[in-house]
């Protein structure tokens, strides 16, 4: 795929979706393909099917970029394996070292970094409100940093600096979904019960738009 073409990512994504269609045990982001399985024999069969499809599509996989037969690996900024997923250590270190931003651009950069891992942060949207409010259109480039902003900044850093861990889903078990809503947003937690206890698979949250805050609380919970 040539570089510089505006539609290249969308076109390539469409090609990959077609390539991996109905190929169980695979996932991808652009050209990063993840193969997962319960057994080694299943893994080999999935790899064989994947390589056959790549060959039929005249696509190649560079051996130096492939990792085959690993029980754990780093994938798209995450450590994945042993039925857990967590942020990569170098990303956590970047969050730990982050200084309070002084400009809107610096704040947007910080929010982009921690926002990528929002599924690890309970009620991320509500915690980040004092910060996201400063990025709205019309807000000055030089930040008006107060106690609320500093508390939100520290809270996000602390949660992600403690190497949060999520379990990977077991599709043979029952999923548990818990939701709640307040005057400013809503949150959800997806869990499963394992032999060693009940663990979160993902957190989700959303900050309400001004028009949404005028809705009835009952409607929000629905």
For the chain, the average pLDDT equals: 90
Element (H, E) at 44: helix 40-56
CATH code at 193?
A: 3.10.20.370
* Average pLDDT rounded to a whole number, residues 195-215: 84
Asked if residue 97 belongs to a domain, the reply is yes
Helices (H), 57-188: 89-97, 104-115, 124-132, 147-161
Q: How many CB atoms lie within 10 A of CB 210?
A: 6
Kindly report the CATH number assigned to the domain that includes residue 138: 3.30.70.270
pLDDT of 54 over the 90 cut: yes
Does pLDDT of 219 surpass 70? no
Residues 208, 177 share a domain: yes
Residue 82 has pLDDT above 90, yes or no: no
Do residue 130 and residue 170 come from a single domain? Answer: no
Residue 141 pLDDT exceeds 60: yes
Q: What pLDDT does 3 receive? A: 66
Residue 7 confidence (pLDDT): 83
DSSP 80-108: EETTEEEE-HHHHHHHHHPPPP-BHHHHH
- The larger pLDDT score, comparing residue 20 to residue 163, is at 20
Show the tokens assigned to 176. Answer: 């548990």
Confidence band for 110, pLDDT divided at 50, 70 and 90: very high
94 and 149 in a single domain? The answer is yes
**Domain range spanning residue 196?**
166-221
Q: Per-residue pLDDT for 16 more than 80?
A: yes
Lowest-pLDDT choice from 40-44, 151-155, 197-201, 209-213: 209-213
pLDDT cut 90: percent of the chain above it = 71
CA–CA gap between residue 168 and residue 51 (Å, rounded): 26
At residue 222, the pLDDT reads: 56
The pLDDT assigned to 9 comes to: 85
What average pLDDT does range 86-110 have in this prediction?
Answer: 95
| pLDDT of the residue at 167 | 94
Q: What is the mean pLDDT of residues 18-28?
A: 94
- Number of domains comprising the chain: 3
Q: Is the distance from CB of 54 to CB of 19 less than 8 angstroms?
A: yes
Angle between helices 147-161 and 124-132 (to 10 degrees): 140
Residue of higher predicted confidence among 207 and 88: 88
User: Is residue 85 assigned to a domain?
Assistant: no
* DSSP helix/strand/coil, 157: helix
Contacts 24+ apart (CB under 8 A), 206-211: 206/125, 207/125, 207/126, 207/128, 207/129, 207/132, 208/183, 208/184
Average pLDDT over residues 110-133: 94
Q: Please state the separation of Cα 157 from the chain's center in Å.
A: 16
Say whether both 34 and 96 belong to one domain.
no
51: pLDDT strictly greater than 90? yes
What predicted TM-score, i.e. pTM, was given to this entire model? 0.81
Predicted confidence at residue 182, as pLDDT, reads: 78
DSSP code at position 169: P
Decide if 40 is inside a domain: yes
């Amino acid at each position: 795929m040539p570089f510089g073409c505006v539609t290249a990512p969308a076109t390539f994504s469409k090609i990959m979706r077609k390539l991996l269609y109905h190929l169980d045990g695979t996932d991808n982001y652009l050209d990063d393909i993840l193969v997962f399985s319960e057994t080694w024999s299943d893994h080999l069969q999935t790899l064989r099917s994947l390589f056959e499809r790549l060959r039929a599509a005249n696509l190649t996989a560079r051996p130096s970029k492939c990792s085959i037969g690993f029980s754990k690996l780093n994938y798209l900024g995450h450590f994945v394996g042993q039925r857990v997923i967590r942020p990569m250590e170098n990303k956590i270190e970047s969050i730990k070292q982050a200084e309070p931003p002084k400009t809107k651009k610096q704040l947007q950069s910080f929010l982009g970094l921690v926002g990528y891992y929002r599924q690890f942060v309970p009620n991320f949207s509500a915690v980040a409100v004092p910060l996201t409010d400063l990025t709205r259109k019309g807000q000055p480039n030089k930040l008006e940093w107060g106690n609320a902003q500093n508390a939100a900044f520290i809270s996000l850093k602390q949660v992600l600096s403690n190497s949060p861990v999520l379990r990977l889903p077991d599709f043979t078990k029952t999923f548990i979904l818990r939701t709640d809503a307040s005057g400013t947003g809503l949150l959800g937690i997806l869990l499963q019960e394992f032999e060693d206890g009940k663990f979160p698979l993902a957190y989700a949250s959303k900050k309400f738009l001004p028009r949404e805050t005028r809705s009835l609380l009952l409607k929000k919970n629905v």
